[in-house]
Amino acid sequence: MTTVDSTVSAIDAAIGAPVAAEGGGACCQCGRALDASPSDDFCSENCQNVWRAAHATTVPGFEVLDRVRDFVLRFNAFPSAHCAPMLALWYAHTHAVDHFYVTPRLILSSVEPGSGKTRVLEVAQHLVRAPEMTISATTAALFRMVNDGPITILFDEVDTIFNPKNGGNNEDLRGLLNAGYKRSATIARCVGDARAMKVQRFPVYAPAALAGIAGNMPDTITTRAITIHMRRRRADEEVEEFWEEDVEVEAVPLREQLAAWIGTVTDKVSRGRPDMPEGVRDRAAEIWRPLIAIADAAGDHWPDTARAACSHFVAAAGVDRNGGGLRIRLLSDLRDLFTTRAVTELPTAEILTALCELDEAPWGDLDGHGKVLDSRRLAKELEPYGIRSKNVRMPGGKVPKGYRVDGDGGLADAWSRYLPASATSATAATPQVRGVADTEAVADASATPAPSDPPAPTEL
């Protein structure tokens, strides 16, 4: 036996590989003859995968997540330092999604093309579990793919699906993406021909990452999502060239390490009840629970890193002008106005003037043709929150209509329910009462102090 043969035999003995008969080879996993297999060690890809899984060395969770984060950063410039850690956690959760009740949607938006959204998905497809990269898949096809799953949906150019200019009538797809957020969700459809029609309930639970131009995503999806607002790279922001054949090869061990580690902590993360950062509750807490549970299981810096990312994205969602909708923007601007002026009441005319003068606000041109916010539109936008105008006594005896912070029909209740907590609020500011809302009940406006503390937030 030659030195080379002895060495190979020693390696085979070390890894427990079967010793083949002279002149032939045997599969390291099952012992069958290799025959025409292109591999020198395995008779099939399945045997190779089984052997690798059995002999894989589990890398500590924090190291795996560090490697995934660093890998992601090689090919994208992100608007925040919190983006890459969040993506690493989101990719990890796809390998454990069956153990969670919720899978947060990932949205990659930008105001212009060429901002790196597609690149994020291209990297993600080599790191997530069972990726299904698509651009224009029909709703019926997605139903079938999710039903046959598991898959991770990576949907590019989704803005073309929901863009009103292109029709925007894709309720079935929106329903699938909405319902698929929770594990228990199904969507009922009639299947079969007219003589043998029956109702079939399709399971639609699956992770989904959606990329598209900002402004066209339905609110029902954005409220179930973590959103990154991508931006074009500056000339001084360098990233590596993306050669997919190289990325695919380099990503294999990372994906395997991620899946192997997640497999060791699924019971722990599925039962976890992680503490949320201050102010994160309800839907936001539901979205972030899987990611923070994974971070807690990883240890090292990841529990703190994940909570910092959570606070960042939740705060950004609270002031997101597109994701929150026009009414949320109105509530936010009104709170800023009352807080800045340190008052608890303002006449409608003064409110409208101040709103229309705000830089980069929509109130001075609501339709792109110079239509400004008026008192009728203001009342209509605030009415769903239970906010109503009241009489406000002004210096000189005038009693115009206006809005107040506290009391029945006031702004404070809506602020506490729909806006993130603010360091200061109009009700906490030094009061400078401009008038009295109920002129019959109070004779002297100067003797009426404004409340010093904001109302306690009410849970949704």
DSSP symbols for 170-234: -HHHHHHHHHTTBTT-EEEEEES-GGG-EEEEEE----EEEEEETT-S-HHHHTTEEEEE--PPP
Q: Do 220 and 174 meet the contact criterion of CB atoms below 8 Å apart?
A: yes
The residue among 285, 124, 315 whose CA lies nearest residue 210 is: 124
Q: What H or E segment, with its residue span, contains residue 339? A: helix 325-341
CATH topology of domain 61-318: Rossmann fold (3.40.50)
Q: For tokens 């997101």, name the residue.
A: 320
pLDDT category, 168, cuts 50, 70, 90?
low
- Backbone torsion region of residue 454, taken as left when φ is above 0, otherwise alpha when ψ lies between -120 and 50, otherwise beta: beta
Domain ranges of the chain: 3-55, 61-318, 325-447
pLDDT tens readout for residues 370-418: 899 999 999 999 988 889 999 988 877 888 999 999 988 999 998 988 8
Dihedral Cα 438, 442, 445, 447, nearest 10 deg: -140
pTM above 0.85, yes or no: no
Q: What H or E segment, with its residue span, contains residue 115? A: none
pLDDT tens readout for residues 194-252: 788 888 888 889 999 999 887 677 788 888 999 999 988 888 889 999 999 999 999 99
